[in-house]
Amino acid sequence: MTSPRRSFLWLLPLGLALLLFSLLARALQAGEPRTLARSAPSALLMQPAPALDLPPLDPAATLRPAQLRGQVWVLNVWASWCAPCRTELPALRALGEQARVPLVGLNYKDSAPQGLAWLRQHGNPFQLNLADAQGQVALDWGVVAVPETFVVDAQGRVRFKHSGPLTAEQVQRELLPLIERLRHAG
Amino acid sequence: MRVEPWLLSLALFSAQAAPTGPELDQRVEALARELRCLVCQNQSLADSSAPLAQDLKALLRRELAAGKSEEAVRQHLVARYGEVLLYKPPLHAGTALLWGAPLALAGLGLALLLRQRRRAGGEPA
């Protein structure tokens, strides 16, 4: 004869299997997952920002990467061939106007004429653009797909990374408070 | 013939320092097989022809050709892209559960099985 305690033990594997199934079913219903790399936090968080040893996209640029040292600044990786980069432009512009920190563009795998034409056509939110025509500096920043946005603090450490287009809501809720905090910390 | 150990290590070191040709191809390929293509669904860098995968393979080749070890190149990439890049995650505090869970589950199963058998043996047939 089986005791009530033993019959409970028999139910345990079934319960665990049902739990697993329900978790998997929920994950499936959540739709196509973002790729692993895009959902993972940046490996660079709290690490020194990689060097930006690149020529400016616009030869007339006055800001130099060396001048960014000691202040909070934002790096946005973009390209003229990148449609989501155009989508995020209003959010980026709002960020530049309200955060009052240097907004640096990293023009990724683009040609200078096309990059400059894109800026003229859609409006230039950046104080400085650097031309990463071969995409080699982007490899140092761990860029997977454009657009990507980084915030660097006054000590030169990466404090924030976002993959994909920025939204106006995210700028208000996340980025502006972070930049404000970093500015007072520095 | 007796080979001087220091000569052998020198030969090995120089082979390590500047690999070229088929040997370099082989090492790049082997390393690329261990690394995930970050913009593809479940492909290794070796399998992928995505632009980012091509760039990273070129980087592997450059670094290996410059005499870096596989481990150093792996570290270089993990520092930028994170451990998500590695198909075989390293064992540390953050992944202890991942590596330990199968062992713990097998142990639990074995314990339950033994208990069951002892009980069955204890009962009159």
Nearest-by-Cβ selection for A35 from B41, B78, B81:
B41
Nearest-Cα distance to chain B for A60, in Å, is 30
Residues A47, B79: C-beta atoms closer than 8 Å: yes
The amino acid at residue A1 is: M
Q: What is the pLDDT of residue A1?
A: 47
More confident residue, B94 or A168: A168
CB B55 within 8 A of CB B2: no
Query: Which chain B residue lies closest to A135 (C-alpha atoms)?
Result: B55
Partner-chain contact B80 A141, CB within 8 Å:
yes
The predicted structure's pLDDT at residue B97:
87
Chain A: residue whose CA lies nearest to B86: A37
A34 vs A25, higher pLDDT = A25
> Does any CB of chain B come closer than 8 Å to the CB of residue A43?
yes
User: Cα dist. A95→A76, A91, A157, A162, A178 in Å?
Assistant: 11, 6, 20, 14, 12
At A51, is the pLDDT very low, low, confident or very high (cuts 50, 70, 90)? Answer: very high
Number of H helices, E strands in chain A: 8, 5
Cβ separation of A139 and B55 shorter than 8 Å? yes
Q: What is the pLDDT of residues A78-116, one digit of tens each?
A: 999 999 999 999 999 999 999 999 999 999 999 999 999
* Phi-psi region at A82: left, alpha or beta (left = phi > 0; alpha = psi -120 to 50): beta
Cis amide bond preceding A48, omega within 30: no
Is the Cα torsion angle A136, A137, A142, A147 positive or negative in sign? negative
Produce one character per residue of A131-163: b if its CB has 16 or more CB atoms within 10 Å, e if not. Answer: bbbebebbbbbbbbbbbbbbbbbeeeebbbbbb
Q: Between chains, do A37 and B39 touch, taking CB under 8 Å as contact?
A: yes
Closest residue to B84, CB basis, from A9, A40, A44? A40
| A1 part of contact set with chain B, CB < 8 Å | no
**What would the pLDDT profile of B53-76 be if each residue is shown by its tens digit?**
999 999 999 999 999 999 999 999
Residue B2 in tokens? 């007796």
Cβ within 8 Å, pair A144-B84: no
Q: How many CB atoms lie within 10 A of CB B70?
A: 14
A140 vs B contacts (CB less than 8 Å): 80
Interface touch B83/A35, C-beta < 8 Å: no
A110 contacts in chain B (CB < 8 Å): none
pTM, entire model: 0.77
Which residues numbered 5-34 in B keep a CB inside 8 Å of some CB on A? none
| 8 Å CB contact of B41 and A47 | no
Phi and psi torsions of A60, nearest 5°: -85, 0
- The Cα B95–Cα B102 span in angstroms is 12
Say whether residue B50 is in contact with chain A using an 8 A CB cutoff.
Answer: no
pLDDT in tens, B18-57: 677 889 999 999 999 999 998 888 899 999 999 999 999 9
A133: contact with B, CB 8 A cutoff: no
Chain A hits for B79, Cβ within 8 Å: 43-44, 47
pLDDT value at position B8? 53
Q: Write out the two tokens for A136.
A: 């080699």
